[in-house]
Chains A and B, each alone.
Chain A
Amino acid sequence: MSTEVLLHARGVGKKFGGFVALAEVDIQLRPGERLGLIGPNGSGKSTFVNCISGDFAQHEGEVTLGGHQLGGLKPHRRARLGLARTFQLPQPFNSLSVLENVRVPLLFAGHAAEATERAMACLEQVEMAGKAHKLPKELTQVEQRRLELARAIALDPRLLIADEAMAGLSNAEVDQIIELLFKLNQAGTAVIMIEHIMRAVTAFSERLVVFVAGRKIADGLPREVLALPEVEGAYLGKQ
Chain B
Amino acid sequence: MNTHLRFWLGAAALGLLLVAALRLLGNDYAYFAGYFVLQYVVLASAWNILGGYAGYVNFGAAGFMAAGAYSAIVLRQALGLDLIPGIIFAALVAGLLGLGTGYLTLRLKGVYFSIATLCLSVVLQTLVVNWDYVGGSRGAYIIRPREIAPFVSYGEYLFIVMLVLAIGAAGIGRTVEMSRLGRGLQAIRDNERAAEAVGVPTLRLKLIATTLCGALMGVAGAPLPYYSGYLNPEAAFSLAYAVNAIAMPLIGGAGTWAGPVIGAVLLASLQQAATVTISSALNLWIVGWMLVIFVALFPKGILGWFRRKA
Contacts and interface: CB of A to CB of B under 8 A. Distances in A.
Whether the complex brings A and B within 8 Å at their CB atoms is answered yes
Contacts of A75: 196-197
Given A76-B200, A76-B202, A79-B198, A103 B193 contact: no
A53 B198 CA distance: 11
Interface string B182-204: 01101101110111111111110
A18 B53 CA distance: 40
Given A108-B180, A112-B180, A96 B187 contact: yes
Given A94-B191, A95-B189, A96-B190, A79 B183 contact: no
A104 B184 contact: yes
Contacts of A107: 180, 183-184
Interface residues of A, number: 29
Give chain B's interface secondary structure class. helix
A84 to B, nearest CB: 8
A157 B25 CA distance: 64
Interface in A119-161: 151-152, 154-155
B186 A93 contact: yes
A109 interface: yes
Given A91-B191, A92-B191, A76 B186 contact: no
A80 B199 contact: yes
A55 interface: yes
Q: Which 7 A-B pairs have the closest CB atoms?
A: A79-B199, A93-B190, A91-B194, A105-B198, A107-B180, A75-B196, A104-B187
Given A95-B186, A107-B183, A108-B180, 14 more contacts: A54-B196, A74-B201, A76-B196, A76-B199, A76-B200, A79-B196, A92-B191, A92-B194, A93-B195, A94-B191, A95-B189, A95-B190, A96-B187, A152-B198
Interface of B: 180, 183-184, 186-187, 189-191, 193-203, 255
